[in-house]
Every structure is written in C-alpha cells, then in structure tokens.
Structure 1
Amino acid sequence: MLRYTIRRVLQLALVVLVLSVLLFAWLRALPGGPVSALLGDRGTAESRAQLREALGLDDPIFVQYFAFLGRALTGDFGTSTGVSPGKPAMELFLERFPATIELSIAAIVIALIGAIPLGYLAARRRGGWFDNASVVGSMIGISIPIFFLAFLLKYLLAIKLGWLPTGGRQSAGLDATRVTGFFVLDGLLTREWDASLDALRHLLLPALALSSIPFAVIFRITRASVLDVMDEDYVRTARSKGLAKRIVRDRHILRNAMLPVVTTVGLQTGALLSGAVLTETVFSWQGVGQALAVGFERKDFPVLQVVIIAAAMAYVLVNLIVDLSYAAIDPRIRTAGKVG
C-alpha cells in the first residue's frame, strides 16, 4: 500500500507541475497581459516599460517561469488588482476558501444522502414506476444548467415563498464570532446557535442548486452498479443459502457496487468548483468561485493564478484520496500496480 501511495503522489505531483506550465503560458497569452491589468488603459509607454522591467517580463520565458514557480511555492502570487485591490491574492484566497469548501461539502452531502439510497431502491424496483420516474428525474437533473436551476430555486423558495434567504452567507447585522471561516461550524464551536442556524439557512439554497448534477450522476452510477452486482453468481448463491436480506444487501451487493460509486463521488467533488462559480455568483456567496468570475471580468491575474492553481491541486488531492480509497476497498488495485 505504501509503494502504491508513493507512486500515485509522484504522478499527481507531475500533473500539478504540468498544469503550472499551462497556467503560466495561458495567462501571458491573454490580451493585454499583466501590465494592462495593473496599469489599465491610462498607462504611458514609459510606465509600461518600467513595470515590465520590474515584473521581469523582459527576461527569457524560462527565467520568468522559474521565478513564477518559486513565488508560487512560497505563496506569493502578487496583489489583487480587481477583486479586492491592494490585498495579497493568497490572503484573499484564504479568506474565501472556507466559503467554497463549506458550500461544496454541503452539496456533496446532499447528493450522497439522496442519490445512493434512491439508486439502490430504483435498481431493486427495476422497470417499475419508481425506477422510471427516478431515471427521468436524473436526466432532468443532468440537463438543467446550474445557473438556471439556481435562479429558479431562488425565485420559488426565496422570493416567492420566502422560506430561505436570497443570498449571502449570513444575515447582515448578525453579531457572530469568526473562528474557522466555516460559518455553520463557527456557530457550533462558539455555541452561538442562532448564528449557526442562520448560516445553515443561507447555505441550503445554493447547496441544493450545486448538488443537482452530482446527485443525478451518482444516482445513475449507483443504479447501474447495483443492477450489475445483483446479477452476479455470488449474490444468487448467497440468497440460495438463505442468508438474511440485510446481509446480502450490505456484504454482497452494496459493498461491491460502491467501487465505481467511490470513483464517481471523487470526480464530482473535484468538479464542484466549476459549478460553484455560477452558484456563488447567483447567490452572492463570497467564495473563490465568485472571486474567479470577478477576476476574469476585471483581468485580476494574481487572483486568477492562485485560484486556478488551488483548484487544480484540490482536484488532484481529491483524486488521490479516491485512488487510495479504491485501493483499500479492492486489494486487486494494489496487486495490479505491483505487477505493472
């Protein structure tokens, strides 16, 4: 297991290195580049030349890249020019990162709580009305764009019915103690129950919108996987031996059916940031997704750099956890790695 872990870590480190090269090249290929982002349209030719020299943009491209890599390894991505002018990009990212993590965790928890049981039940009732309705519902969930669903939920549940807040992470004027940056958790840690409940009410609506695609994908994978496992010989053998339904379900069906589901959950968790950009914008959620959207709009290169690098590392880390979990569940993965 240790050798397998080390090999996967080295592979993923190489992936992050390649991504840093692509990010470096892409940002410098954007119209205007860092100089225009810092000076705007009013910069003179002299000031532009001075800034290019100060930023080292006249150096050879390889020298620029290694300088960029060195600063990135120390957390120095420069100062925000558009999202929060004057604030270090890393500091801004660290302030907003808990908001996106809180939203992403809530979304994937909602998806898991609903999708896995429904997928199992749909497979057990294959061909029935519940199965057909669930499949149609999952197809609708995959097809509806997140931003449209977010606006729809916001209008129905927040504006029309008034059940939930329209946006933000917490009600304005609420005196809440900040500990971790996770507002729901902060309220629990400080025993400010009203603050925790208020943060949870603000969290529910964007989390529902963001969970739609993971919910639909995990449901379909769970249903398909359970159907495959139910037709296996060892399941029929277990039933013919007279084992209790609970034992057959837990030990023989669900345990084996969860292998592809684990992979799917990891991929969907890593991909939540793309949906979070739209969701956070619709609900005025002060996370890194909203910062990324504003950064693109205002050409805030320092913020774009730190958010994209962090998103790539988060995706890679999630995939590493999934790989290790998969290897722990199915020892054949480790055995195949040793043979290869």
Structure 2
Amino acid sequence: MIRFIVRRLLQMVGVVVILSLLVFAWLKALPGGTVSALLGERATPERRAALEKALGLDQPIYVQYWEFVKRAVRGEFGASTGVQPGTDAFDVFLTRFPATIELAVCALVLAIVLGIPLGYLAARRRASLFDNTSIVFSLIGIAVPVFFLAFLLKYWFAVKLQWLPVSGRQDPGIDATRVTGFFVLDGLLTREFDASWDALKHLILPSLALATIPFAVIFRITRASVLEVLDEDYVRTAESKGLTNRIIRGRHVLRNALLPVVTTIGLQTGGLLVGAVLTERVFSWGGLGDALAIAFQRRDYAVLQVCILMAAVTYVVINLLVDIAYAVIDPRVRTR
C-alpha cells in the first residue's frame, strides 16, 4: 500500500510540474508580455526596464522559470491589481478558498448521498416507474445549465417564496467570530449556533444548483454499475447459497459496483471547481470562482496565477485520495 501511495505521489509531482510549465508559458504568451499586462497604459520604457529587472525577465528562460517556481513555492505571486487591489494575491486565495471548498463539499455530499442510493434502487427496480422517472430527472440535471438552474432556484425560493436568502454567505447583520473561514463550522466551533444556521441557509440554494450535474452523473454510473454487477456469476452463486440480501448487497453488489463510482466522484470534484465560477457569480458567494471571474475581467494576472495553480494542486490531491480509496476497495489496483 505504501509503495502504491509513493508511486501516486511521484505522478502527482509530475502533473504539478507540467502545469507550472503551462502557466509559465501562458504568462510569457500574454499580449505585450507580463510587463505590459502589469503596467498597462503606464508602460514607459524606464518603467518597463525597471520591472523587467525586478522580475528577472532579462535572464535566460530557464532561469526565469526556476525563479517562477521558487516564488510559487514561497507563495509570492505579487499583489492583486483587480480583485482586491494592493492585497497580496496569495492572501486573496487564502481568504476566498474556504468559501469555495465549503460550497463544493456541500454540493458533493448532496450528490453522493442522493446519487448512490437512488442509483442502486433504480437498478434493483429496473424498468419500473421509479427507474424511468429517475432516469428522466438525471437527464434534466445534466442538460440544464448550472447558471440557469441557479437563477431559477434563486427566483422561486429566495425572491418569490422568500424561504431562503437571496445571496451571500451570511447575513451582514450577524456579528460572527471567524476561526477557519468556513462559516458553518465557525459557528459550531464558537457555539454561535444562530450564525451557523444562517450560514447553512445561505448554503442551500447554491449547493443544490452546483450538485445537479455531479448528482446526475453519479446516479447514472451507480445504476449502470449495479446492473452490471447483478448479472455476475458470483452474485447468483451467493443467492443460490442462501445468503441474506443484506450480505449480498453489502459484500458482493455494492462493494464491486462502487469502484467506477469512486473514480467518477473524483472527476466530478474537478467539475465542481469549474461550476463554482458560475454559481458563485449568481449568488455573490465571494469564493475562488467569483475571484477568477473578476480577475479575468480586470486582467489581474497575479490572482489568476495563484488560483489556477492552487485549484490544480487541490484537484490533483483529491484524485490522489480517490486512488487510495480505490486501492482500499479493490486491493488488485495496488499491483497495477
């Protein structure tokens, strides 16, 4: 098991290195170069020369890349010029990262808690009304764009019915204590349960909007995987031996059917980071998705660098955890 983890860690390092090369190449390919992008209309020859020397752009390309990597490892990406002008770009990331993680985790939990049981039940009741209805709803979940569903949820439940908050992470009137940046968790840790409950209410609508696509995918993969496993010989053998349904479901059906589902969950986690850009904009969530959108609009390349690199590292780490979970479920994977 340790050898398997070490092998995956080495692969993860390779992915991060390649990604850093791509981000570095993107910076070099900016119209007019990094200096023009940072100075804008203030790009006089003197300022260009001073900034090029300060950034080390007068050095050979391999030296520039090595300096870029060292700055990235130290978290030195420069100051934000658009999202939070004057603030260190890495501090912008650290401030907004908990908001996106809180939203993504809640959406993923919803997708898993609903997708796997419903997919299993649909497979067990193949061709029934429940199965057909579930398939229709899963297709709708995939087909409807996230931002459109977000607007619908916001209009019906926040504006029309006024059951839930319209936007934001928490009511500005609540004087909550910040500990981790995760508003629901902070309220629980500080025993400010009113703040935690308010943050949870703000979390419901954006989580539902963001969870629709991963729920639909997890549901369909679970259903297809369970149907495939139910037709295997070892399941029929277990039934002929008189084993109880509980043992057959847990030991033979679900354990084997979960293998492709675990992989799908890891892939959908990356999709949540992409969908968060649209969802956070609709609900004024104030996370990384919102920061990325503003950074693109205002050409804030310092924030773009740190957000792209850190989001990729997060995605790679999550996939490492998925690989480990896969190896725990199926020991044969460790030898591949």
Q: 1:268 corresponds to which residue?
A: 268
The Cα of 1:32 is off from its aligned counterpart by: 4.0
- What are the superposed Cα offsets for residues 296-322 of structure 1, whole Å, 9 maximum, x if unpaired? 111111111111000110111011111
Instruction: Kindly provide the CA deviation profile for residues 215-247 of structure 1, in whole angstroms up to 9, marking residues without a partner as x.
Output: 000000000000001111111111122222122
- Which amino acid in 1 is paired with 2:321? I
Structure-2 separation of matches of 1:322 and 1:204: 26
Cross-structure match for 1:196: 196
Alignment of 1:1-12 (within 5 A): 1-12=1-12
Contact 2:95 2:181 (8 Å CA) reproduced: yes
Structure-to-structure mapping, 1:1-340, within 5 angstroms = 1-335=1-335, 337=336
Distance 1:179 1:293 in 2: 27
- Runs of 4+, deviation exceeding 3 Å: none
CA distance in 2, matches of 1:270, 1:57: 33
When normalised by structure 2's length, the TM-score is 0.97
Deviating more after overlay: 57-66 vs 280-289: 57-66
Which secondary structure state, in structure 1, belongs to the residue aligned with residue 177 of structure 2? coil
Superposed CA offset, 1:262-303 (max 9, x none):
111111113211011111111111111111111111111111
Q: CA deviation at 1:173?
A: 1.7
Does the 8 Å CA contact 2:77/2:302 hold for their aligned counterparts? yes
- Please report the RMSD computed on the Cα atoms of aligned residues, expressed in angstroms: 1.2
- The secondary structure found in structure 2 opposite 1:332 is helix
**Matched letter for residue 108 of structure 1:** L
8 Å Cα contact 2:82/2:294 also seen in 1 = yes
Separation of aligned partners in 1, 2:147 and 2:293: 13
CA distance in 1, matches of 2:143, 2:132: 17
What displacement does 1:57 show? Answer: 2.1
CA contact (8 A) 1:214 1:268 kept: yes
In structure 1, the residue corresponding to 2:221 is in which secondary structure? helix
CA contact (8 A) 1:96 1:287 kept: yes
Q: Identity percentage over the alignment? A: 68
The Cα shift of 1:156 comes to: 1.2
Q: How many residues are matched? A: 336
CA contact (8 A) 1:75 1:90 kept: yes
**CA–CA distance in 1 between the matches of 2:90 and 2:135?**
43
Q: What's the offset of the Cα at 1:42?
A: 3.7
Q: For residue 115 of structure 1, what is the amino acid of its counterpart? A: G
Distance of 2:99 and 2:26 partners within structure 1: 27
Measured at CA, do residues 52 and 265 of structure 1 come closer, stay the same or move farther in structure 2, by a change above 3 Å?
A: same
- What residue identity is the alignment partner of 2:302? P
Aligned-pair distance for 1:148? 1.1
SS at match of 1:211: helix
- Measured in 2, the distance between the counterparts of 1:186 and 1:212 equals 27
Give the secondary structure class of the aligned counterpart of 1:271: helix
Q: Report which stretch shifted further, 76-85 or 241-250.
A: 241-250
Structure 1: 5+ residue runs without aligned partners? none
